[in-house]
């Protein structure tokens, strides 16, 4: 029984229990309506080309029961939170503790990231996961410039990721250019596409901008799918050169990295190297963002997010300001794309679907728009969470979607909602999220 | 010329379907100013429910096609409307007074949930349905090329027209319509004047979902196949249609839907099928750049 | 007219929105170093005139000539929005305060110095690597901000979010922010709205100071007649988008047309203010 777990006098009884049961019943009825045909009847293309179907009453029963429980729990939670039980769980001392932890969290995470290849040297799986997470940290930080700082909603960020990946793949396979040469090219090309897209569309506002960037992302993906002679179409590009240690390949041969440094060959070397490359790239993104925030351009981005009209009245060229935000964000997306291509050795349009854009945007918003630490935490949480559900395979996106809804309902302003001022005279004071705007564009 | 005419007819039929979905977008956008990203998937769910309901009815012995189709339509509208209601209740209402990005992400999350739910519940494979309404009207037969309007096309266009008329009357004449328009203008003021805004918004979602169910049903009988992925693409195209027509404008949504349907069909017919979607999306971008308020939208004066 | 007596010349300005004529054939000029007030009943088109001058609206017809003391002239109707603030150096405030509420008071004042700081940072590239010239420029910018914060008495709140300030402070901060943009013409849209008598007295002093010490000309929309009558050198009265009077505060006060315009509308408070000023 639920009442044994909570202390009196707020035990669940009488009318409250009744209300909870009523709410549970309603939810169950609604659930029955929703799932009746969808779960209760399963269709499939039959062997003869026709359609066959069979019923699944048991599953339907389970779903309705689950709806009942969900409705019950929800009502209880609402009743509890109304009493401030959740607040009471967090005494002031605990909050202070949280604050201290929060301040130390950034440096601790960084130290952990640097030491990770040493701690988990033998666990390739964890290192791969770390590389993946760092890629998303970098993408999140890149998009954060556009969405979090400048307040421009970009739903097609993955397009720049794709431009970066395909530029590296094409330049390296066609002209044999090295990764370190291609990296800036990929960034510049992505930034160029950012400007190309940004120039016409940046006078659009809000959701219009969102949908146009979404369309742009889809256009890029569809062009990649269909321009078979250049991109290999749906089959993608294979045989992308793997990274070398500044020209020294990670091979077992006499010319290889292991031989050069006089150590035993191990395939892990390359993984560790890749780990540090993406760590460096991500930190570069972070460093540049932090620097930019303290420069006039960064302040203009944030001012733009706060009030575009006031910006214009102060002589700020809002078009170029928006364009630089777009281009800078795109450039980092391009870098990340080039890294992605060299790590995978194979790319196809599948990796650049709208879901990726949504994932990166979710990372930025969950992180708390504009907060670097928040974005990093959100990226690690998301990718880690994704990994936990790897075994569930087809349920993964379902869980991801549910998590997105739940997180937004729970914390609409993200994990770290407050804003740190870019400059101060005496004492830096955090600015509460309720004052910080999120832009119109 | 005959070829063009045939493509024109096909385009109108497809455009009607887009128009119906676009109505849902435009209504929701008009009232709460958000893009209901999950609407495309609601449309897809409508199609699936129609498919399953049809199978069930046949199994129950309802074999008269017109009766079956009518019942299917009613069932699909009811259940899909329930989906629309639940989506609004779960994902949007808690965020009603929140920051702008939160409901948008919540909507994207909901789109993923719905799409994947159907994938899990009904499998990823394409579901075929044999043609239910055969035949059609032959308009031109000059020996070489036959221009014809199939009965399905006639049904699609007529249903759309009828719904459009009914729906316009609801908005223009009924109390609900007046409340909807009031919420569109100023939700706070409407609430102060005693309009139950939550209820109006819920109703809007329910109506939008019911219209999407009709669109899903028509998609099903028109194309005879359905899979869980159609929601995303159709959703974006219908949104394009809503924007093209001028978001917030009901006739605009229909007009935009027809335009997108025609453009897409013509592009496939005369240029290349592969770049069909690219054409639709490019048009969205071009329209927004040169006509940010769409064909029938009201121009906006920037408030300083 | 080399750096002549007039800073702003508005000639035959008209602005229409669809069928509505908000401003009709308006001509007036503002004296350099003077405080010119634009008054009129609600809906007379005053803010529209401001929006035309500061480039937020493109006027339907007419010409607006702004002359710098050095002799440079700008035709404002031909300049694109932000260039009016940047090149012609016209700064403004807004009727509904438009501060960057999620940024600190200090940050607000630094954003106002965007253009000089931007060139000092070598369009970001030099600033990114910590070029000393930029650091110097930033320090100067902070000093300027400090100066204005001292003037408006907000130095203690420099690190607070602008949105957290009380209303009167926000109004003053908005003026200080406009001044940080280094204007020659300052356009204030109802700076005394919502201020109490003491605060509007302080505002008078502050505006006099800006005009006296910084040689900035001021164009002002105001309903508070105590402000208008006390500090302005020249008053222009609008009604239904047309100019109905133009002259010194004293002459305006006795103008029967002005009295009629004010008493003719239901804005009693304004009418009373005029009567009081008369006594």
Virtual torsion, Cα C265, C64, A205, B204, nearest 10 deg? 20
pLDDT in tens, B52-76: 999 888 888 887 888 888 999 999 9
The pLDDT of residue B269: 87
- C81 pLDDT tier (thresholds 50, 70, 90): confident
pLDDT (mean) for A108-119: 82
Band of pLDDT at residue B304, cut at 50, 70 and 90: low
Q: Is the per-residue pLDDT at B9 higher than 70? A: yes
Residue B297 has pLDDT above 80, yes or no: no
Residue B14's pLDDT band, with cuts at 50, 70 and 90, is very high
Is the Cβ pair A310, C86 closer than 8 Å? no
Give percent above pLDDT 70 in chain C.
Answer: 92
List of residues 6+ apart from A228 with CB closer than 8 A: none
**pLDDT tens digits, one per residue of C111-162:** 999 988 887 777 777 777 777 778 888 889 999 999 999 988 888 888 888 8
pLDDT tens digits, B193-238: 888 888 999 999 999 999 999 999 999 988 888 988 888 888 888 8
Q: By three-state DSSP, how is residue A150 classified? A: coil
**C touches which chains (3+ CB pairs under 8 A)?**
A, B
pLDDT, chain B, mean: 87
**Closest by CA position to B267, among listed B236, B237, B230:** B237
Whether residue B300 lies within 8 A of chain C, CB to CB, comes out as no
How much of chain A, in percent, has pLDDT values that exceed 90?
24
Provide the pLDDT for residue A403: 86
CATH number, domain C1-89+185-279: 3.40.50.300
- Is beta strand C217-221 parallel, antiparallel or unpaired with respect to C185-189? parallel
Q: What is the pLDDT of residues A337-379, one digit of tens each?
A: 999 999 988 999 988 988 899 899 989 988 887 788 889 988 9
Residues of C in contact with A313 (CB under 8 A): 54, 56, 85, 91-92, 94, 98, 178
- Print burial letters for C205-216: b (CB count within 10 Å at least 16), e (below 16): ebbeebbeeeeb
Q: Which domains does chain B have, with CATH numbers?
A: 2-290 (1.10.3470)
Q: Shortest CB distance from A313 goes to which of C91, C128, C159? A: C91
Ranges for all domains in chain C classified under CATH 3.40.50.300: 1-89+185-279
Statement: residue A155 has pLDDT above 80: yes
Q: Residue A431: which pLDDT band, with cuts at 50, 70 and 90?
A: confident
User: Is residue A437 less than 8 Å (CB to CB) from chain C?
Assistant: yes
Summary count for chain A: helices (H), strands (E): 17, 2
- Interval C188-213: pLDDT, tens: 998 888 888 888 888 888 998 998 88
**Are the C-beta atoms of residues A179 and A274 closer than 8 Å to each other?**
no
Determine the Cα angle at C111 with ends C109 and C117, to 5°. 110
* Residues whose CB is less than 8 angstroms from the CB of residue A109 and which lie 6 or more positions away in sequence, other chains included: A373, A376, A377, A380
Closest Cα in chain A to B284: A212
* pLDDT greater than 50 at residue A284: yes
C107 to A421: CB separation less than 8 angstroms, yes or no: yes
Q: What's the confidence (pLDDT) of residue A124?
A: 81
Nearest to A434 by CA among C101, C94, B61: C101
Q: Flag if A302 and C100 touch (Cβ within 8 Å).
A: yes
The pLDDT tens digits for B160-170 are 999 888 888 88
| Chain A residues close to B75, C-beta within 8 Å | 37
Query: SS3 of A24, please?
Result: helix
Judged by a CB distance cut-off of 8 A, whether residue A327 touches chain C is no
Token pair of B119, please? 């994938």
Within 153-172 of C, beta carbons closer than 8 Å to A belong to 155, 158-161, 163-164
Contact between B116 and A401 using a beta-carbon 8 Å cutoff: yes
Rounded-to-integer distance, Cα A1 and Cα A3, Å: 6
Give percent of chain B above pLDDT 70.
98
Which chain C residues are within 8 Å of B302, Cβ to Cβ? Answer: 56
Q: Do A36 and B79 make contact, defined as CB atoms within 8 angstroms? A: yes
- The answer to whether A329 and A157 have CB atoms below 8 angstroms apart is yes
Residues of C with CB under 8 A from a CB of B: 17, 47, 51, 56-57, 94
- Among B5, B6, B13, B18, smallest CA distance to B283 is for B18
Residues A336, A115 contacting (CB under 8 angstroms): no
What are the tens digits of pLDDT across the range A320-336?
999 999 999 999 999 99
Please compute the mean of the pLDDT values over residues B239-262 and round it to a whole number: 88
Residues of C in contact with A296 (CB under 8 A): 110-111, 113-114, 117-118, 121, 124, 127
C51 to B304: CB separation less than 8 angstroms, yes or no? yes
- Which residues, 6 or more positions from C187, have their beta carbon under 8 angstroms from its beta carbon? C50, C53, C54, C90, C91, C92, C93, C218, C219, C220
Q: For residue C205, give the 3-state DSSP assignment.
A: helix
Q: Rounded to an integer, what distance in angstroms lies between the CA atom of residue A86 and that of residue A99? A: 18
pLDDT at A8 over 50: no
Taking residue C255's Cβ as centre, other Cβ atoms within 10 Å add up to 17
Contact state of B281 with A361 under an 8 Å Cβ cutoff: no
> CB–CB of A404 and B112 under 8 A?
yes
Would you state the pLDDT for residue A259?
74
Query: E strands, chain C, where?
Result: 6-17, 20-31, 35-39, 61-67, 73-75, 90-92, 185-189, 217-221, 234-239, 242-247
Cα–Cα separations (whole angstroms), residue B36 to A360, B21, B39, C59: 20, 11, 6, 38
State the smallest CA–CA distance between residue A363 and chain B in angstroms.
11
Q: Which range, A423-437, C3-17, C129-143, C158-172, has the best average confidence (pLDDT)? A: C158-172
Helix (H) / strand (E) element for B149: namely strand B146-150
Per-residue pLDDT at C253 exceeds 60: yes
* B129 neighbourhood in chain A, CB within 8 Å: 51
Mean pLDDT of A225-247: 83
Cα–Cα distance measured from residue C262 to residue C235, given in angstroms and rounded to the nearest whole number: 15
Statement: residue A282 has pLDDT above 50: yes
Distance CA A266, CA A250 (A): 9
For residue A305, what is the nearest residue in chain C, using CA coordinates?
Answer: C100
Least confident of A218-227, A234-243, A416-425, C255-264: C255-264
Ranges A2-6, A240-244, A397-401, B183-187: which has the least confidence: A2-6
Which pLDDT score is estimated for A382? 86
Instruction: List the single range of A64-68, A164-168, A426-430, C59-63 with lowest mean pLDDT.
Output: A426-430
Evaluate if residue B132 carries a pLDDT over 90: no
pLDDT of amino acid A13: 56
The owner of tokens 């421009």 is A152
DSSP secondary structure letter of residue A352: G
Dihedral of CA C201/C203/C208/C213: which sign? positive
pLDDT at A237: 87
Q: Which residues contact B161 (CB under 8 A, 6 or more apart)?
A: none
Closest chain B residue to the Cα of A220, Cα to Cα: B278
Mutation site, A48, A144, A349, A412, interface B, largest B CB count within 10 A:
A412
> B190 vs chain A: nearest CA distance in angstroms?
24
User: What are the percentages of helix, strand and coil residues in chain C, rounded to 5?
Assistant: 45, 25, 30
- Chain C nearest-CA residue for B302: C56
Contact A429/C117, CB-based, under 8 Å?
no
pLDDT tens-digit map of C101-125: 889 999 999 999 998 888 777 777 7
Q: Which two tokens stand for residue B156?
A: 């699609």
Residue ranges per structural domain of chain A: 2-86, 123-376
In the predicted model, is pLDDT for residue A4 greater than 50?
Answer: no
- Alpha helix ranges (H) inside A368-428: 372-388, 396-410
Q: Between residues 65 and 104 of chain C, which touch chain A (CB distance below 8 Å)?
A: 81-86, 91-92, 94, 98-104
Which residues on chain C are in Cβ contact (under 8 Å) with A309?
Answer: 56, 94, 98
The SS3 of residue A237 is strand
The B residues from 79 to 118 touching A (CB cutoff 8 Å) are: 79, 82-83, 86, 90-91, 94-95, 98-106, 108-118
- List chain C residues with CB under 8 Å of B301: 17
Determine the Cα–Cα distance for residues B94 and B97; give it in Å rounded to an integer: 8
**Tokens 């070398």, residue located:** A244
A141 or C277: which carries more pLDDT confidence? A141
Give the per-residue pLDDT at A323: 92
Please tell me the predicted confidence (pLDDT) of residue C192.
87
Integer CA distances (angstroms), B291 to A201, A203, B246, B299, in order: 12, 12, 9, 9
Query: Would you call C94 and B301 a contact, using CB atoms and an 8 Å cutoff?
Result: no
A206 vs B275: which has the higher pLDDT: B275
| pLDDT for position A3 | 41
The pLDDT value given to residue C263: 62
| pLDDT of the residue at A5 | 43
The whole-angstrom separation of Cα A422 and Cα A293 is: 6
Residue A185 contacts by C-beta under 8 Å, 6 or more apart in sequence? Answer: A167, A168, A171, A177
Mean pLDDT of chain C: 84
Work out the average pLDDT over C220-229.
84
User: Length of chain C, please?
Assistant: 279
Contact between A404 and B304 using a beta-carbon 8 Å cutoff: no
Whether the per-residue pLDDT at A84 is higher than 60: the answer is no
Q: Where are the alpha helices (DSSP H) in B33-131?
A: 39-59, 65-87, 101-122
pLDDT at C2: 42
The terminus-to-terminus CA distance of chain C in angstroms comes to: 41
């Amino acid at each position: 029984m639920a009442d044994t777990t909570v202390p009196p006098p707020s035990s669940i009884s009488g009318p409250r229990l009744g209300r909870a049961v009523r709410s549970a019943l309603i939810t169950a009825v609604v659930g029955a309506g929703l799932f009746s045909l969808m779960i209760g009847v399963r269709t499939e293309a039959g062997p003869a080309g026709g359609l066959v179907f069979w019923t699944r009453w048991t599953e339907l029963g389970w779903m309705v029961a689950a709806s009942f429980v969900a409705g019950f729990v929800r009502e209880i939670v609402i009743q509890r939170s109304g009493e401030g039980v959740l607040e009471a769980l967090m005494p002031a001392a605990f909050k202070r503790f949280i604050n201290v932890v929060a301040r130390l969290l950034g440096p601790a995470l960084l130290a952990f990231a640097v030491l990770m290849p040493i701690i988990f040297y033998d666990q390739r799986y964890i290192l791969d996961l770390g590389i993946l997470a760092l890629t998303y940290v970098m993408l999140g930080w890149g998009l954060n410039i556009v969405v979090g700082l400048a307040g421009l909603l970009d739903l097609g960020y993955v397009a720049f990721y794709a431009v970066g990946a395909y530029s590296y793949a094409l330049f390296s396979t066609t002209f044999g250019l090295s990764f370190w040469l291609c990296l800036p090219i990929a960034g510049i090309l992505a930034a160029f596409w950012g400007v190309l897209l940004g120039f016409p569309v940046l006078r659009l506002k809000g959701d219009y901008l969102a949908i146009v960037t979404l369309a742009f992302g889809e256009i890029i993906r569809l062009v990649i799918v269909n321009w078979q002679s250049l991109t290999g179409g749906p089959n993608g590009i294979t045989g992308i050169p793997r990274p070398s240690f500044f020209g020294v390949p990670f091979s077992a041969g006499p010319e290889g990295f292991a031989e050069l440094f006089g150590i035993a060959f191990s395939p892990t070397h390359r993984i560790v190297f890749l780990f540090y490359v993406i760590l460096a790239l991500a930190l570069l993104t972070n460093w540049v963002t932090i620097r930019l925030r303290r420069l006039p351009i960064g302040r203009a981005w944030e001012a733009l997010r706060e009030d575009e009209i006031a910006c214009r009245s102060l002589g700020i060229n809002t078009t170029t300001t928006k364009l630089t935000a777009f281009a800078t964000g795109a450039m980092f997306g391009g870098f990340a794309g080039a890294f992605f291509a060299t790590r995978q050795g194979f790319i196809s349009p599948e990796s650049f679907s709208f879901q990726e854009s949504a994932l990166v945007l979710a990372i930025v918003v969950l992180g708390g728009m504009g907060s670097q630490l928040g974005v990093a935490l959100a990226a690690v949480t998301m990718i880690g969470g994704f990994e936990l559900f790897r075994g569930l395979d087809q349920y993964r996106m379902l869980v991801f979607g549910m998590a997105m809804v739940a997180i937004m309902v729970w914390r609409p302003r993200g994990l770290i909602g407050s804003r740190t001022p870019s400059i101060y005279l005496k004492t830096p004071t955090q600015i509460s999220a309720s004052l910080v705007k999120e832009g119109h564009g | 010329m005959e070829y063009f005419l045939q493509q024109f007819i096909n385009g109108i039929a497809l455009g009607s379907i887009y128009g119906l979905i676009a109505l849902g977008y435009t209504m929701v956008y008009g009232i709460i100013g958000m893009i209901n990203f999950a609407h495309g998937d609601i449309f897809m769910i409508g199609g699936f429910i129609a498919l399953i309901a049809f199978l069930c009815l046949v199994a129950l012995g309802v074999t008269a096609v017109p009766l079956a189709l009518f019942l299917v339509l009613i069932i699909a509208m009811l259940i899909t409307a329930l989906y629309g209601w639940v989506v609004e209740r779960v994902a949007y209402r808690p965020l009603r007074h929140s920051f702008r990005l939160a409901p948008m992400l919540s909507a994207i999350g909901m789109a993923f949930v719905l799409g994947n739910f159907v994938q899990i519940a009904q499998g990823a494979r394409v579901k075929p349905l044999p043609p239910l309404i055969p035949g059609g009207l032959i308009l031109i037969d000059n020996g070489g090329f036959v221009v014809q309007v199939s009965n399905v096309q006639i049904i699609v266009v007529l249903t759309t027209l009828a719904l459009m008329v009914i729906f316009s009357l609801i908005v223009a004449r009924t109390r609900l319509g007046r409340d909807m328009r009031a919420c569109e203008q100023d939700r706070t003021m409407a609430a102060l004047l005693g309009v139950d805004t939550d209820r109006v918004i819920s109703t809007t979602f329910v109506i939008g979902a019911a219209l999407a169910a009709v669109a899903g049903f028509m998609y099903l009988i028109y194309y005879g196949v359905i899979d869980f992925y159609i929601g995303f693409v159709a959703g974006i195209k219908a949104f394009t249609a809503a924007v093209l027509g001028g978001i917030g404008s009901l006739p605009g949504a229909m007009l935009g839907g027809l335009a997108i349907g025609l453009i897409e069909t013509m592009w496939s017919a005369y240029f290349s099928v592969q770049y069909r979607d690219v054409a639709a999306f490019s048009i969205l971008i071009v329209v927004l750049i040169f006509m940010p308020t769409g064909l029938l939208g009201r121009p906006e004066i920037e408030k300083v | 007219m080399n750096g002549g007596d007039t800073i702003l010349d508005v000639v035959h300005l008209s602005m229409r929105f669809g069928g509505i004529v908000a401003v009709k054939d308006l001509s007036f000029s503002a004296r350099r170093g003077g405080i010119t007030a634009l008054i009129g009943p609600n809906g007379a088109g005053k803010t529209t005139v401001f929006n035309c001058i500061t480039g937020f609206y493109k006027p339907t017809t007419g010409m607006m000539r702004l002359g710098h003391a050095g002799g440079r002239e700008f035709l404002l109707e031909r300049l694109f929005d932000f260039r009016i603030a940047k090149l012609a150096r016209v700064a403004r405030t807004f009727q509904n305060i438009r501060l960057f509420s999620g940024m600190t008071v200090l940050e607000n004042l630094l954003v106002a110095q965007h253009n000089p700081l931007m060139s000092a940072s070598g369009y970001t590239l030099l600033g990114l690597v910590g070029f000393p010239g930029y650091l110097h420029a930033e320090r100067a910018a902070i000093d300027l901000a400090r100066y204005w914060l001292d003037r408006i008495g907000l130095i203690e709140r420099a690190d607070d979010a602008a949105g957290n300030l009380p209303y009167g402070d926000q109004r003053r901060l908005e003026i200080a922010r406009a001044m940080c943009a280094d204007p020659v013409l300052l356009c204030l849209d109802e700076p005394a709205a919502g201020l109490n008598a003491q605060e509007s007295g302080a505002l008078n002093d502050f505006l006099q100071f800006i005009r006296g010490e910084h040689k900035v000309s001021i164009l002002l929309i105001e309903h508070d007649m105590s402000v208008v009558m006390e500090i302005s050198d020249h008053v222009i009265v609008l009604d239904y988008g047309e100019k109905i009077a133009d002259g010194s505060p004293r002459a305006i006060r006795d103008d029967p047309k002005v009295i009629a315009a004010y008493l003719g509308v239901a804005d009693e408070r304004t009418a009373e203010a005029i009567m009081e000023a008369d006594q």
